[in-house]
Amino acid sequence: MSTLGAQTGPGEHSRHGAAAAAAAQAGTRLDQWFSSYADRAHGMRASEVRSLFAVANRPEVVSLAGGMPNIDGLPLEHIAEMTAKLLRERGTRALQYGGGQGEEELREQIVEVMRYDHVAAHPDDIVVTTGSQQALDLVTEIFINPGDVIVAEAPSYVGALGVFRAYQADVVHVTMDDDGLVPADLDRTLTELERAGRTVKFLYTVPNFHNPAGVSLSLERRPQIVEICRRHHVLILEDNPYGLLGFDGDPMPALKSYDPDGVVYLGSFSKTFAPGYRVGWAAAPHAVREKLVLASESAILSPTMMGQLSISSYLSTFDWYGQVKEYRQMYRERRDAMLSALAEFLPGARWTVPDGGFYTWVTLPEGLDAQAMLPRAVTNLVAYVSGTAFYADGQGRGHMRLSFCYPTPARIREGVRRLSTVVRAEAELVDMFGTTPHARRGDSVEIPSPDQV
Ligand SMILES: Cc1ncc(COP(=O)(O)O)c(C=O)c1O
């Protein structure tokens, strides 16, 4: 559902900033720099979930919350040898600063990786970044003025929403269904925004194995989305960290393959190899790529040389695609465990059926509030992320994101069983007293911890 009614105008930002500052002041007497912060910093605070996570990360808790890839299957012996060789033979390069755009050798390999998504890019089009998270930040930095609109799926990746809010963008959500973003709703939303005189800078979308929704944009809809954005002169920011992790068949063509000049594509080695290297990339139209490099140089000077050269060696000395196929098999087993546990223990709920990636999106029985229920779930030794984290405007209480990437199939089953006891108890309370009271939500930006994204 579009949330046009929930937008804020540019003038309201300063009022929000002042209100957030006043509200926060009472609780921060210890910070002598309080009055010096920029408005956007006043709005940043750890999400409620983040505080709970200190507890949720204890081993006795089954966490269906985090998006941490399971990297137990990595060939650590090979990586150790590869790293030793890299340091021995190219150590002074690997431990030196590098160019702002990233190593050419790696950019050439990235072009090959993107061929799996049907994208024909050139190494000059690529900017290597500190994970795709930094690419999200850079794109937002170069395009967004306070009050500009970013159109994004409902729900959207929590880490992107944090960036968008930090740059004081207004996020307007567009409906998704089991086939991903709904073209008619996108078209209508962009038309209404134009009529209202709003400046829409880009569409942010995760077309494959969506985080958090678990759905993918159908093949049929891909050219439609591209055509709608082209007609409204809206850039597409295509975020694709999970594209190679499909359980059935080959990846679908990226949006970038339909309109190379209309799309900035973000990729990552975090899910297909290992997140610890913190290497991702943006593939952008030429002029945009230049701005991204300048913005990146000003933020970090150059991306990690050690990380880039390590990934480069891995891609050239190991059957990396074979490893991706093993990951697919392992995640598919976990997805199956999640779906059968949901069918066994949570028959009153609905959930999406992911064909890849890490997540399923659960819709709770009517009247249940995932955010209010979370502390009780953690007390019952199971954790999830409440749907509210994935909307810019406080929607999502009736939903939760469950991830199946990290726990073993047996732990997933046990986690869902524990969850079902909490849901049942909650449903009884709702039957007796009506809907559980909603916690107040302020104007602040909820920043999740890295293991929650
Ligand atoms: C949709 C999406 N985009 C971007 C990222 C950031 O990934 P990284 O910075 O590790 O490449 C994540 C991480 O979970 C994600 O799920």
Going from the Cα of 287 to the center of ligand 1, the distance in angstroms, rounded, reads: 24
Q: Which ligand 1 atom minimizes the distance to the CA of 358?
A: 16
Secondary structure (3-state) at 350: strand
| Alpha carbons 359 and 158: distance in angstroms, whole number | 13
Question: Is 430 in contact with 40 (CB distance < 8 Å)?
Answer: no
- In the block, tokens 């750890």 appear at 46
Does any ligand 1 atom lie closer than 6 A to the CB of residue 211? yes
DSSP type of residue 356: B
Give the tens place of pLDDT for each residue, 368-423. 999 999 999 999 999 999 999 999 988 999 999 999 999 999 999 999 999 999 99
Listed range (143-147, 424-428, 430-434) with the worst mean pLDDT: 430-434
Q: Which of 128, 208, 271 to mutate to test the pocket of ligand 1 (most atoms within 8 A of CB)?
A: 271
pLDDT category of residue 39 using cuts at 50, 70 and 90: confident
Does any ligand 1 atom lie closer than 6 A to the CB of residue 148? no
Tokens of 167: 């740059």
| Alpha carbons 170 and 173: distance in angstroms, whole number | 10
Does any ligand 1 atom lie closer than 6 A to the CB of residue 260? no
Going from the Cα of 410 to the center of ligand 1, the distance in angstroms, rounded, reads: 26
- Report the amino acid identity of residue 93: R
Q: Which ligand 1 atom minimizes the distance to the CA of 453?
A: 14
Largest separation between any pair of C-alpha atoms in the chain: 70
Q: Which ligand 1 atom minimizes the distance to the CA of 136?
A: 4
| Alpha carbons 200 and 394: distance in angstroms, whole number | 21
Give the tens place of pLDDT for each residue, 64-79. 998 899 999 999 999 9
Give the tens place of pLDDT for each residue, 232-287. 999 999 999 999 999 987 899 999 999 999 999 999 999 999 999 999 999 999 99
Element (H, E) at 308: helix 305-317
